[in-house]
Amino acid sequence: MKNEPKILHIDMDAFFASVEQAYNPRLKGKPLIVGGRADKQRTVVCAASYEAKALGIDSGMSTQQALRICPNAEFVSADSAKYLYVSDQIAEMLKNYSPQIEQASIDEFYLDITGLDKMFGSYFDLGMRIKQEIKKKFSITGSVGISVNRLMSKIASKLKKPDGMMIMPRADIISVLKDLPIQKIPGIGASLSAKLQDLSIFSFSDMRKFSADFYQQRFGKIGLWMYALAHPEIVVADEEIDWVDQKPKDPKSIGHSYTLNQNIYTRGEIEAWMQLLAEMVGFRLRRHNLEANTVHIYLRKPDMKSISGEKNFKEYNNDSKQIFKRALFLLDKLNTKNVEVRALGISVKNFMPATNNFLLADAQKRYQICNAQDAINKRFGDWTVYPASICSIV
DNA sequence: TCTGGGGTCCTAGGACCC
DNA sequence: TCTGGGGTCCTAGGACCC
């Protein structure tokens, strides 16, 4: 097909674990677990090296379980600054191949490479050059998928992990994917795949047996998406690609949450943690130079179910104290009597650029205090200065 | 037995207005 | 004693991703 879009997806293999192994040769060749946090309780595996994966350890698994499988596995806690740094370097490198690049996550990128086969000899040669440059510069590997849209490219790269590459033209999609289990399709998670299996849909081929109406009635919008993906032979007009070149876009929400070492019960304890979280959220909001008017809180119970509250307030702000007050207002509306809390979080959304323009002298003063506090924390590290009332838990 | 923390997007029901 | 049918906004909760 002429002028058919070609999207290249590259996904780093076991990214966090690979970066750790690249930085520390002692970890190379060993089963390595990168944990969500230093304490090994109540947390999950963020990344596992391929040596650990071979033993059955994988990301998302509880760290306790992973260490039961392999008590001698190397363990490091995640160092997000390091991974972000490498990720940025990779993004810069990829811009030399195509200006149309989208960073989908810390370790995944999409490139529009339509027509670039002529410049690089072939799409295969282009993919290989990217893989080789990454290996040479960063001592890690990535898997490449090239196909007609993001989803198909991503499926292709996943199929060839680790360190592989697959080119999947539209005409090959149905035959290549026919036996693919539905759970392997990005966007179909545990819940959807259970529902599909109830309908005797287990593989990509099975997905093709039902009509668009069938999917829409049962699954609504997602149903239509599923129908479309199962029918790659139907070319959707303009698969709307909005490449975000250059500047990263503003986030849509900013939040922090924390799983406690031990469950808490009292309003006082919940408030103390809420204040800490509000401080963290406000700090990041100010760093983005944004204000928000919607605050969301959630409390997760020991059964993992959560209760939450959210409210759109009239005024926008980025003041930690105001965020805390709003969080308490929402907390009052939730019935937290006798609720045991395992984890809790605050997030804010609905942003506008910070005006830093206050009618009230008090608000002006708060703003100056926040700024001073941020400046100190920026210079000397987070949590050098924080409100006295959260001393007990920091 | 265990299940983090950062997000995005969707749905469904109720409130409210005309 | 009877109350339709849109539309929009708000909020709770869930699904999914890395």
Protein residue nearest nucleotide C15, by CA to C1': A191
Which nucleotide's C1' sits nearest to the alpha carbon of A345?
A: B5
Does residue A34 contact residue A16 with C-beta atoms inside 8 Å? yes
CB A71 within 7 Å, strand B: no
Give the tens place of pLDDT for each residue, A299-346. Answer: 999 999 999 999 999 999 999 999 999 999 999 999 888 899 999 999
- The answer, yes or no, to whether residue A381 has pLDDT greater than 50, is no
Looking at the structure, do residues A335 and A363 belong to the same domain, yes or no? yes
pLDDT number for residue A250: 82
- The answer, yes or no, to whether residue A380 has pLDDT greater than 50, is no
List residue ranges whose Cβ is under 7 angstroms from nucleic strand C.
A 15, 60, 104-108, 154, 185-193, 294, 305-312, 333
Mean per-residue pLDDT, A37-51: 93
pLDDT number for residue A391: 58
CB A221 within 7 Å, strand B: yes
Mean pLDDT, all residues of chain A: 90
Which nucleotide's C1' sits nearest to the alpha carbon of A222?
A: B10
Strand B bases with any atom < 7 A from protein Cβ: 1-12
Give the tens place of pLDDT for each residue, A199-209. Answer: 999 999 999 99
pLDDT number for residue A389: 55
Radius of gyration over alpha carbons of chain A, in Å?
24
Which nucleotide's C1' sits nearest to the alpha carbon of A296?
A: C11
pTM: 0.90
| A106 in any annotated domain | yes
Protein residue nearest nucleotide C17, by CA to C1': A187
Report the half-sphere exposure of A355 (CA within 13 A, side-chain side): 11
Report the distance from CA of residue A216 to the C1' of nucleotide B10 in Å, as an integer: 14
pLDDT number for residue A292: 96
CA distance A36 to A80: 10
Report the distance from CA of residue A281 to the C1' of nucleotide B5 in Å, as an integer: 13
Looking at the structure, do residues A228 and A81 belong to the same domain, yes or no? no
Per-residue buried b or exposed e for A309-325, using 16+ beta carbons within 10 Å of the residue's own CB: beeeeeebbbbbbbbbe
pLDDT number for residue A362: 56
Looking at the structure, do residues A7 and A121 belong to the same domain, yes or no? yes
| A393 in any annotated domain | no
Which nucleotide's C1' sits nearest to the alpha carbon of A225?
A: B10
Domain boundary residue, one of A129, A149, A177: A177
Q: How many domains does chain A have?
A: 3
Per-residue buried b or exposed e for A233-248, using 16+ beta carbons within 10 Å of the residue's own CB: eeeeeeeeeeeeeeee
CB A248 within 7 Å, strand B: no
Which amino acid, one-letter code, is at A18?
A: S
Looking at the structure, do residues A293 and A210 belong to the same domain, yes or no? no
CATH of the domain at A328: 3.30.1490.100
Confidence of residue A249 (pLDDT cuts 50, 70, 90): confident
Confidence of residue A36 (pLDDT cuts 50, 70, 90): confident
| A389 in any annotated domain | no
Domain boundary residue, one of A188, A210, A236: A236
CA distance A218 to A233: 23
| A241 in any annotated domain | no
Does residue A111 contact residue A7 with C-beta atoms inside 8 Å? yes
Looking at the structure, do residues A263 and A360 belong to the same domain, yes or no? yes
Looking at the structure, do residues A149 and A64 belong to the same domain, yes or no? yes
Percent with pLDDT over 70 in chain A: 86
Mean per-residue pLDDT, A188-210: 97
Looking at the structure, do residues A2 and A58 belong to the same domain, yes or no? yes
Give the 3-state DSSP-derived string for A173-218, with helices as H, strands as E and coil as C: HHHHHCCCEHHHCCCCCHHHHHHHHHCCCCEHHHHCCCCHHHHHHH
Task: Cite the active site residues of A.
Answer: 108
Looking at the structure, do residues A203 and A266 belong to the same domain, yes or no? no
Does residue A331 contact residue A337 with C-beta atoms inside 8 Å? no
Residue A264 structural domain: 253-380
